[in-house]
């Protein structure tokens, strides 16, 4: 009989989530059901069909499509590459709609980078200096600076990083969440690989 009274740490839950991609509560229950044993908890999640997202994480997404979007006034155009694992999924209406929606979003929201990792380090450091300097000018306490700066960076990423931006058609989800939801529906790893945005008279983003 499972020992559901086993004390499970947040670190154990985090490790299992990273290994399987399952939800936090599912991971906690899996660990409780298996007395904290990570391997057994992973197997338990797989049997329940809850580890599929995690299993997709290590797979390659080399198929897909390059989608284009030209704004109605012909002053803004976008090319975006969205990848899937198989051409079968890439040819579905759902995948095509996802790619079209992302292209439309890029045209509307003008992200500067794809992911947080793509933001140059010198830009990050410059922003950090500005946020810290502004907080000090406002007389904010030193022990609160890290939290203030973190909040400022969340806003910065939301404005400038594609995967962090709220989707233009539904601002309750980010582009990253939109892709994850589509991935869960089709049962394959999906990802946005790259994009280019062109605006008449301006350098390409």
For the question of whether the overall pTM of this predicted structure is more than 0.75, the answer is no
Domains of the chain: 10-57 (1.10.8.10), 63-115+161-199 (3.30.479.20), 120-158 (1.10.286)
Residues whose CB falls within 8 Å of the CB of residue 159, separated by 6 or more in sequence, listed in order: 165
pLDDT, tens only, 9-55: 888 888 887 777 777 788 888 999 998 888 888 888 877 776 655 45
Among left, alpha and beta (phi > 0; psi -120 to 50; other), residue 4 is alpha
Q: Does pLDDT of 187 surpass 90?
A: no
Contact 161, 175 (CB under 8 A): no
Give me the helix-helix angle, 24-33 and 10-20, nearest 10°.
110
């Amino acid at each position: 009989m499972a020992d559901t009274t086993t004390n499970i740490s947040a670190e154990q839950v985090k490790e299992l989530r990273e290994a399987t991609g399952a939800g936090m509560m599912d991971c906690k229950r899996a660990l409780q059901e298996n007395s904290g044993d990570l391997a057994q908890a992973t197997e338990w999640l797989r049997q329940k069909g809850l580890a599929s997202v995690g299993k997709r994480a290590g797979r390659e997404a080399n198929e897909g499509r390059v989608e284009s979007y030209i704004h109605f006034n012909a002053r803004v155009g976008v090319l975006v590459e969205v990848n899937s694992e198989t051409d079968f999924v890439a040819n579905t209406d759902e995948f095509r709609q996802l790619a079209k929606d992302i292209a439309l979003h890029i045209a509307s929201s003008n992200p500067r980078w794809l992911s947080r990792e793509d933001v140059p380090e010198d830009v990050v450091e410059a922003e950090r200096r500005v946020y810290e300097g502004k907080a000090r000018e406002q007389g904010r306490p030193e022990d609160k600076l890290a939290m203030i700066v973190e909040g400022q960076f969340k806003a910065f990423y939301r404005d400038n990083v594609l995967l962090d931006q709220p989707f233009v058609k539904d601002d309750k989800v980010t582009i990253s969440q939109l892709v994850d939801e589509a991935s869960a529906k089709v049962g394959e790893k999906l990802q946005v690989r790259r994009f280019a945005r062109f605006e008449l008279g301006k350098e390409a983003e």
